[in-house]
Amino acid sequence: MITLTDSAATKVAQLLESEGTPEYALRVAVKSGGCSGFQYDMYFDGDIASDDVVTSFGAVKVVVDPASASLLDGASLDYKDGLTEQGFAITNPNATRSCGCGKSFS
């Protein structure tokens, strides 16, 4: 299962609050596509299926579908807000290669 760093959990909670949907979960999924074969997909979701894997990081719930769970096992979602790096980034030990933009992997 994917984990969230403290900075990522804080930013997700802020975004959920600003959207007016603090009860929603962050859905993280892996889909076919991108230049390396798979790409990450993240969005806020109010529909949680009975077979979804749900983990909480403070007030933030993270939901992963069963097909994506094995590809995200051991992965970490971080958020940076600095001069040289900004935004969310996934570090995934299951990725054998990734593209230059960091949005897709295989």
Task: Quote the number of domains for the chain.
Answer: 1
Asked if the structure places residue 106 within a domain, the reply is no
| pTM of the model as a whole | 0.84
Relative to beta strand 76-81, strand 3-4 is parallel
Q: Does some domain include residue 35?
A: yes
Does residue 64 belong to any structural domain of this protein?
Answer: yes
Judge whether residue 22 has pLDDT over 90: yes
Evaluate whether residue 66 is within a structural domain: yes
Tell me what pLDDT residue 1 has.
86
Q: Is residue 83 part of a domain?
A: yes
| Domain of 42, in residue numbers | 3-96
pLDDT of residue 97: 61
Give tens-digit pLDDT for 44-68.
Answer: 999 999 999 999 999 999 999 999 9
- Does 104 fall in a domain? no
Q: What per-residue confidence (pLDDT) applies to 104?
A: 46
Alpha-carbon distances of 71 from 41, 46, 47, 64, rounded to whole Å: 13, 23, 21, 10
CATH classification of the domain holding 50: 2.60.300.12
- Place 13 in a pLDDT band, splitting at 50, 70 and 90: very high
